[in-house]
Amino acid sequence: MLIKNITPVIIAKDAQSTIKICLESLIEFEEVILYLNNTTDDTVEIASLYKNVKIIDGIFEGFGQTKNKAITYSSNDWILSLDSDEVLSSEFIAKLKKIDLEDKKVYSIYRTNYYKKQQIKHCWGDDIIVRLFNHKVTSFCDNKVHEYVKEDGLINITIKGIVEHYPYNNMTDFIIKLDRYSTIFAQEHVGRKSSSPLKAFLNAHFSFFKTYILKRGFLDGYAGLIIAFSHMATNFYKYMKLYELNKESKQ
């Protein structure tokens, strides 16, 4: 039986490596919205094979605003916000079908994280994130990064069942994403947040120490080292890009 009252909504860019497994896990939904921005790989061709997927080509204005824009294309009030590298388990879908949705509630997913096919248990651990909500009651905040569903006055319920997350398939993915996220961070905070080369250096090195030592990322094997180094590089470039933009804005 198709799920007709909930629309999964995905924003993506160049997601050919994961979009197939993501959409395969959504075949029981009558409608899926895939909002793409400047995609240059085979994402469109892959997604076009799924009859329940409505492809929208739009612009990216930061994660919060863009997700809210993508939601407007849904024909349902209830939105299941997903990333193109997330996969719903059969258990999750079974539990979802049994929920009596209530407007005063938002619903969280339980997400496990992977590098390639290895579950990462220390650097990242597992997440509980609000992803299912009535968009006439609430929405995402407008943050360009670290966006979240506003839940003021709403009851948060976690849906049983796992959602698997495959954010990185190789080391190049880390490089691409750290460059993108650090740029968005700098653009969002220019003129509002101070930075310096020393701040970039200290934040970067503490990030590595926190991920690899305090969180025991070394127990994740070589993947833990890659992730910890990526966190370090991301923080370094976040604050160096912000420092540079702040300097340019004063000229």
CA atoms within 13 A on the CB side of 71: 24
Give the pLDDT of residue 171.
Answer: 96
Secondary structure (H, E, C), 50-79: CCCEEEEECCCCCHHHHHHHHHCCCCCCEE
Q: How many domains does the chain have?
A: 2
CA distance 67 to 33: 11
Same domain? 128 vs 24: yes
Domain end marker among 144, 168, 192: 168
Same domain? 164 vs 176: no
Same domain? 143 vs 216: no
Domain end marker among 136, 152, 168: 168
> Do residues 24 and 93 lie in contact, with contact meaning Cβ atoms separated by under 8 Å?
no
Measuring CA to CA, which residue among 99, 83, 73, 103 is closest to residue 7? 73
Same domain? 154 vs 229: no
CA distance 124 to 226: 12
Close Cβ partners of 117 (under 8 Å, ≥ 6 residues apart): none
Chain-centroid distance of CA 71 in Å reads 15
For residue range 3-19, list pLDDT tens digits in order.
999 999 999 999 999 99
pTM of the model: 0.92
For residue range 72-85, list pLDDT tens digits in order.
999 999 999 999 99
> Do residues 48 and 23 lie in contact, with contact meaning Cβ atoms separated by under 8 Å?
no
Give the pLDDT of residue 251.
Answer: 78
For residue range 110-126, list pLDDT tens digits in order.
999 999 999 999 999 89
For residue range 30-52, list pLDDT tens digits in order.
999 999 999 999 999 999 999 99
Close Cβ partners of 246 (under 8 Å, ≥ 6 residues apart): 190, 191, 194, 195
Same domain? 148 vs 64: yes
Question: Does 1 fall in a domain?
Answer: no
Residue numbers of the domain that contains 131: 6-168
Q: List, in sequence order, every residue forming a beta bridge with 134; answer none if it has no partner.
A: 78
Same domain? 30 vs 98: yes
CATH assignment at residue 30: 3.90.550.10
Same domain? 146 vs 175: no
Same domain? 110 vs 202: no
Query: Can you list the residues of the chain whose pLDDT is less than 50?
Result: none
Give the pLDDT of residue 1.
Answer: 80
Domain end marker among 119, 135, 168: 168
For the chain, what is the mean pLDDT?
Answer: 97
Give the pLDDT of residue 250.
Answer: 86
